[in-house]
Structure 1
């Protein structure tokens, strides 16, 4: 599993100095990162890729709405993205089986549009897709069963546990679809303020990592952190390296 970093973790620093922040991450040992707001940051990411040699194999960008997919695919190609992941969909829709199936159909259609560009699309969960139980399973599992082959899931392991999932069972059930995992730790509350570096919270990390072995990318992320974010990111990276 290759270690990456979701750049949302350092969003405040990026807003001040995008290239300088990415240079600092490269100096910390990150040769791979996962951008967010891909279209908006396209030019900055292309520059960083060219000047720093950092790779962006996966990226977050909302594309399941009614907007044109073309500009998103163009940005993905320019930045070198292989896995284009929609990071969020309306929580209310995950409480209705019909709405979940409709969303899966929408993602299937987007996947067909993206196929000619050589880009694989997927979805990233929060806690509510697991907390919602439909037809004897989580809404996320119902969603996965409706997806065409080749569409991937990026499982946020922390939010899955917050939503009540047995992370080992979930990753096993979703199988080969899980090409990416988000890795974080903390107090397992819905408020992200209690998030901590990997190994310092309540996440069952040993089990999570063991069940994630088939994933290509392990993406460190902090939605929030009370300490110095760069120190927290570095501590999480060290924790993962020690457990490879």
Structure 2
């Protein structure tokens, strides 16, 4: 996600099976990656990253998605090797992390660790921490603009994605709702989808797509295999359509998860930008629903 909303678990089943002469070998049990976007616990991560990661692991999450790298060019104040060690200590993976475009300056200076500034180092650091995906998390209002500007953004995504590919990583773009608002009869989202699909894939935020009036299943059908990452967050049954715990709102996750293969899903991450109480309580509730109903 981003600096202010960073609108910031991953789930995929990796199945190993083999055949031998004689009786077939039993397939290894699939590994279910249950991920959480660290933006949900951003305040706790700022104060105590070690304790926060340990608590998430104790709840039952086994994967996280980074929500901050911009500026410090570190992961929560730690070098890639230090953060990778902390993850390992808690039995966690970080297959994905969020980044900014970087067109918007910080205090009048270029914002480092972004697609436009310091991307080479960002890619190297992501690889060092064990990430597989780097995600352009958010476009600030000043980074959106006209359709022509979205074409510029798409070009920058292709360039950044090429650098990721050289390091064995995959770039993705994470949506909100503004990308679906038409300009001159065309949706910016479609311009972003017009990127090279080998270089740029999508992290579909199920909440924001739904809020924008989109059907995630229809998007999967129209663009099969293009959505290896999802953000799983629910929409409250209120006029405000606020964020709520997974299973507590109006989004039909069972219908969506049934199409995971068509989407190309590799990892999903629970994210709840704001919570009514402790974010750890909300994350516990969401995970209980996911384990019982979705995976």
TM-score when normalising by structure 2:
0.75
The answer (yes or no) to whether the contact 1:114–1:121 under 8 Å persists in 2 is yes
What pairs with 1:1-244 in structure 2 (closer than 5 Å)?
1=12, 2-38=33-69, 39-41=73-75, 42-43=78-79, 45-63=83-101, 65=103, 66-91=116-141, 94=144, 96-130=146-180, 132-134=181-183, 136=185, 138-187=187-236, 194-213=242-261, 214-242=264-292, 243-244=294-295
Change (3 A) 1:59 1:191: farther
Equivalents in 2 of 1:189, 1:62: separation in Å? 31
The answer (yes or no) to whether the contact 1:95–1:134 under 8 Å persists in 2 is no
| CA deviation map 1:19-39 (0-9, x unaligned) | 011011111121111011133
Aligned-pair distance for 1:73?
1.1
Change (3 A) 1:185 1:175: same
Aligned-pair distance for 1:99?
1.7
Equivalents in 1 of 2:240, 2:219: separation in Å? 22
Change (3 A) 1:62 1:191: farther
| CA deviation map 1:133-165 (0-9, x unaligned) | 246553212310233424211010101111121
Equivalents in 2 of 1:201, 1:176: separation in Å? 27
Larger radius of gyration: 2
Change (3 A) 1:23 1:70: same
Equivalents in 2 of 1:177, 1:161: separation in Å? 18
Greater share of helix residues, 1 or 2?
1
The answer (yes or no) to whether the contact 2:232–2:268 under 8 Å persists in 1 is yes
Deviates more, 1:77-86 or 1:172-181: 172-181
The answer (yes or no) to whether the contact 1:10–1:229 under 8 Å persists in 2 is yes
Equivalents in 1 of 2:265, 2:238: separation in Å? 25
Gaps of 5+ in 1: none
Gaps of 5+ in 2: 1-11, 13-32, 104-115
The answer (yes or no) to whether the contact 2:237–2:250 under 8 Å persists in 1 is yes
Aligned-pair distance for 1:173?
1.9
The answer (yes or no) to whether the contact 1:162–1:189 under 8 Å persists in 2 is no
TM-score when normalising by structure 1:
0.89
The answer (yes or no) to whether the contact 1:105–1:147 under 8 Å persists in 2 is no
